[in-house]
RNA sequence: GGAGGAAUGGCAGAGCGGUUGAAUGCACUGGUCUUGAAAACCAGCAUACUCGAAAGGGUAUCGGGGGUUCGAAUCCCUCUUCCUCCGCCA
């Protein structure tokens, strides 16, 4: 959620940048501004009415305590009209506030100046491409075939137990999952992130905090009996750890990482690209989250992207980095870099990480602030990134490293798998 | 799931339906003192919105929401959470 004072002070710039997303920004901003103006004037009236009521009540109190009962009762009689007026104004105020908030909630974050213009993924800017795409000999298999060959994971069994998109990993496949999780967590800890094990169900307030609600309710699994959602990413519970918190400047940066399963309904997804592990309802992911001083967040963003790169390098996977264009940016993000690995048998890039700076968009919703040296309160910046989502890493590892003797495990991972070749 | 009890500022903890945004202690910040520190003493110390150039006003907030009342931290309803006991159970 954008902050009203920020919109007021930077109206032209906000509109200009929002336009990059291909939305009618000027209209939306003007609506918000006039809703805010309306709210303010009603608030003034309402506050004045309340102030008047308060002062009369105090008078009455004094009269009663000094024994002037008659005068007190006279004063009481006068309050009825005022009270009604105050009540109505208060109702109007609540309506005006609600209208403004709801309007504000529909406006996505303002893209950073470096975000490319564009409407679809074709307009994303390739920042760099690293590593050699392996040239595989004839007869190489996509990962879903390799899965069968080596009995690593089984989607049909998942269908039996749950439904499509809920894979069952087994044997060395299961061990590989665990190895990757541990590898990512240990690397994260080495990079200074505090490990968090969080709930994997969240309440509505948390969903609103990170911007998953209202927006992605259709993408989240919901448990009506308890009014809870299954998390789509660890970003939600981990970032919400700091909801309603006021930090000190010395607390920055806050760095956290956590492994969780992630649940996504992926309503509307279908087709060839969802085969195998390409798109799932349940998958494992290690997430990194940072909360920073506003002046440091873009530096931090670069640092986080560079960190995810080191993971891909250690896994010896060719990758590229995309700067997502305005139209492809998620609702809450101001800048997102996607990292994609090359999947050699499918011959396509697979997104495995998304590193975003939300600036104050989430912290405004979460009331996540810090106080400066003068005790002034400001919104902090939040960032997060996948480090990394497992399924497509597995897909790419399997495909790129297949040999007649089995799947070669990258050296960095062997200490975690306990085997050098998956066969 | 059943029966009771509780929820007050960073923490602990008072609080009578009336000048209580809220005593007191601790913590924290600044100052005096000190070579320095501690101690002592003095002062300050919630958040949001809003008016104002500022100084400073106004409004709201004592778990959340609603109600009674001229007036609610205090009374009533409701929800949530926590504690104790019972039941169930990985």
CATH code, domain carrying A206: 3.30.930.10
A50 nearest nt, CA–C1': B59
Q: Taking the model in full, what pTM does it have?
A: 0.92
Q: What tokens does A389 get?
A: 């989502």
Q: How many CB atoms lie within 10 A of CB A266?
A: 15
CB-based contacts of A352: which residues, under 8 Å, 6+ apart? A312, A319, A339, A340, A341, A386, A388, A389, A392, A393, A396
Residue A61 has pLDDT above 90, yes or no: no
pLDDT at A84: 87
Instruction: Check whether residue A73 has its CB closer than 7 Å to nucleic acid strand B.
Output: no
Strand B at less than 7 A from CB of A64: yes
pLDDT band at A360 (very low <50, low <70, confident <90, very high): very high
Q: Residues A73-87: pLDDT tens digits?
A: 888 888 888 888 888
Same domain assignment for residues A157 and A300: yes
Structural domain includes residue A391: yes
Residue A327 lies in a domain: yes
Residues A101 and A129 in one domain: no
When pLDDT is cut at 50, 70 and 90, the band that residue A340 belongs to is very high
Q: Per-residue pLDDT for A269 more than 70?
A: no
- A203-CA/B69-C1' distance, Å: 36
* Token pair listed for A13: 């710039």
Return the closest nucleotide (C1') to the Cα of A56: B70
Asked, for residue A116, whether it belongs to a domain, the answer is no
Same domain for A148 and A51: no
Which positions of strand B lie within 7 Å of protein CB atoms? Answer: 18-19, 47-51, 57-60, 70-71
The pLDDT of residue A270: 62
Give residue A301's pLDDT: 98
Q: How much is the pLDDT for A286? A: 98
Report the pLDDT value the prediction gives residue A76, as an integer from 0 to 100.
84
**Span CA (A339) to C1' (B77), Å:** 55
A115 within domain boundaries: no
Q: Report the pLDDT averaged over residues A248-257.
A: 91
User: Stated in angstroms, how far is A10 CA from B54 C1'?
Assistant: 24
Establish whether the CB of A376 is closer than 7 Å to any nucleic acid atom in strand B: no
End position of a domain, from candidates A62, A81, A105:
A105
| Per-residue pLDDT at A326 | 94
A272 has a pLDDT exceeding 60: no
Residues A233 and A148 in one domain: yes
**pLDDT for A114-146, tens place per residue?**
999 998 899 999 999 999 999 888 889 999 999
Indicate the residue among A76, A105, A134 that finishes a domain: A105
Q: Using the CA of A72, which nucleotide's C1' is the nearest one?
A: B70
Residue A372 CA to B36 C1' — how many Å? 29
Nucleic strand B within 7 A of Cβ A68: no
Strand B reaches within 7 A of the A164 CB: no
**Does residue A215 share a domain with residue A96?**
no
Q: Are A46 and A158 found together in one domain? A: no
**Per-residue CB contacts under 7 A with strand B, chain A residues 292-351:** none
Is residue A375 in some structural domain?
A: yes
Residues A286-322: tens digit of each pLDDT = 999 999 999 999 999 999 999 999 999 999 999 999 9
* Average pLDDT value for chain A: 92
Q: Decide: A110 and A326 in contact? Cβ < 8 Å.
A: no
pLDDT at residue A66, as a whole number:
80
My answer on whether A97 and A126 are in the same domain is no
Q: B89 C1' – A228 CA distance, angstroms?
A: 22
Q: In residues, how long is chain A?
A: 423
pLDDT single digits (tens) A1-52 = 899 999 999 999 999 999 999 999 999 999 999 999 999 999 999 999 999 9
- CATH number for the domain that contains residue A97: 1.10.287.40
In the 3-class helix/strand/coil scheme, how is chain A assigned residue by residue? Answer: CCCHHHHHHCHHHHHHHHHCCCCCHHHHHHHHHHHHHHHHHHHHHHHHHHHHHHHHHHHHHHHHHCCCHHHHHHHHHHHHHHHHHHHHHHHHHHHHHHHHHHHHHCCCCCCCCCCCCCCCHHHCEEEEEECCCCCCCCCCCCHHHHHHHHCCEEHHHHHHHCCCCCCEECCHHHHHHHHHHHHHHHHHHHCCCEECCCCCEECHHHHHHHCCCCCCHHHCCEECCCCEEECCCCHHHHHHCCCCCEEEHHHCCEEEEEEEEEECCCCCCCCHHHCCCCCCCEEEEEEEEEEECHHHHHHHHHHHHHHHHHHHHHCCCCEEEEECCHHHCCCCCCEEEEEEEEECCCCEEEEEEEEEEEECHHHHHHCCEEECCCCCEEECEEEEEEEEEHHHHHHHHHHHCEECCEEECCHHHHHHHCCCEEC
Q: In this structure, are residues A8 and A33 in contact, taking their beta carbons and an 8 Å threshold?
A: yes
Task: Note whether residue A364 is domain-resident.
Answer: yes
Same structural domain, A56 and A192: no
Q: Is residue A298 included in any domain, yes or no?
A: yes
- Kindly state whether residues A75 and A214 are assigned to the same domain: no
Query: Would the Cβ of A40 be found within 7 angstroms of any atom in strand B?
Result: yes
Percent of chain A at pLDDT exceeding 90:
73
Residue A237, number of CB atoms within 10 A of its CB: 23
Angstrom distance (rounded) from CA A3 to CA A243 = 16
Nucleotide closest in space to A226 (CA vs C1'): B80
Total number of domains in chain A: 2
Which residue, among A308, A196, A282, has the nearest Cα to A242 in the 3D structure? A196
Out of A112-121, A224-233, A269-278, which region has the weakest mean confidence (pLDDT)?
Answer: A269-278
Q: What percent of chain A has pLDDT over 70?
A: 98
**Closest nucleotide to residue A371 (Cα to C1')?**
B47
| Same structural domain, A99 and A126 | no
- Please say which residue of A59, A77, A105 terminates a domain: A105
Tens digits of residue pLDDT in A404-415? 999 999 999 999
Query: A132 in a domain, yes or no?
Result: yes
In this structure, the answer to whether residues A44 and A132 fall within a common structural domain is no
Q: What is the pLDDT of residue A409?
A: 97
A25 CA, B37 C1': Å apart: 60
Query: Whole domain around residue A28: which residue ranges?
Result: 4-105
- Report the nucleotide nearest the CA of residue A41, measured to C1': B50
Q: Average pLDDT, stretch A199-224?
A: 86
Query: What is the predicted pLDDT for the residue at A268?
Result: 62
Same domain, A207 and A173: yes
**What's the rounded mean pLDDT across residues A250-268?**
90
């Amino acid at each position: 959620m954008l902050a009203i004072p920020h919109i007021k002070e930077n109206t032209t710039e906000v509109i200009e940048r929002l336009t990059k997303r291909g939305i009618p920004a000027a209209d939306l901003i003007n609506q918000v501004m006039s809703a805010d103006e309306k709210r303010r004037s009603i608030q003034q009236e309402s506050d004045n009415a309340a102030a008047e009521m308060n002062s009369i009540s105090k008078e009455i109190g004094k009269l009663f305590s000094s024994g002037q009962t008659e005068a007190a009762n006279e004063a009481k009689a006068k309050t009825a009209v005022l009270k009604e007026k105050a009540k109505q104004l208060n109702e109007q105020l609540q309506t005006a506030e609600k209208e403004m908030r709801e309007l504000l909630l529909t406006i996505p974050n303002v893209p950073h100046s470096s975000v490319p213009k564009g409407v679809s993924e074709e307009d994303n800017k390739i920042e760099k491409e690293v590593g050699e795409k392996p040239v595989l000999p004839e007869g190489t298999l996509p990962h879903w075939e390799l899965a069968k060959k080596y009995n690593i994971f089984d989607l049909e069994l998942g269908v039996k137990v749950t439904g499509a998109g809920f894979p069952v990993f087994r044997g060395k496949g299961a061990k590989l999952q665990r190895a990757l999780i541990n590898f990512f967590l240990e690397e994260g800890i080495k990079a200074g992130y505090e490990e968090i094990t969080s709930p994997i169900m969240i309440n509505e307030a948390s969903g609103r905090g990170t911007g998953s609600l209202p927006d992605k309710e259709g993408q989240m699994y919901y448990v009506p009996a308890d009014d809870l959602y299954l998390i789509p990413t660890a970003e939600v519970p981990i970032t919400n750890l700091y909801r309603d918190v006021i930090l000190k400047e010395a607390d920055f940066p806050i760095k956290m990482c956590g492994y969780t399963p992630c649940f996504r309904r992926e309503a509307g997804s279908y087709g060839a690209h969802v085969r195998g592990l390409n798109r799932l309802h349940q998958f494992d992911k290690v997430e990194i989250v940072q909360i920073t001083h506003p002046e440091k967040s873009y530096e931090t963003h670069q640092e986080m992207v560079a960190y995810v790169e080191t993971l891909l390098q250690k896994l010896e996977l060719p990758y590229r980095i995309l700067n997502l264009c305005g139209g492809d940016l998620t609702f809450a993000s101001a800048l997102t870099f996607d990292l994609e690995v090359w999947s050699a048998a499918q011959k396509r890039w697979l997104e495995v990480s998304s590193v975003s700076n939300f600036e104050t968009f989430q912290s405004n919703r979460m009331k996540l602030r810090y106080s400066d040296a003068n005790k002034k309160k400001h919104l902090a910046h939040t960032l997060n990134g996948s480090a990394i989502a497992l399924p497509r890493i597995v897909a790419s590892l399997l495909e790129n490293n297949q040999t007649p003797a089995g799947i070669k495990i990258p050296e960095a991972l062997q200490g975690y798998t306990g085997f050098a070749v998956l066969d």
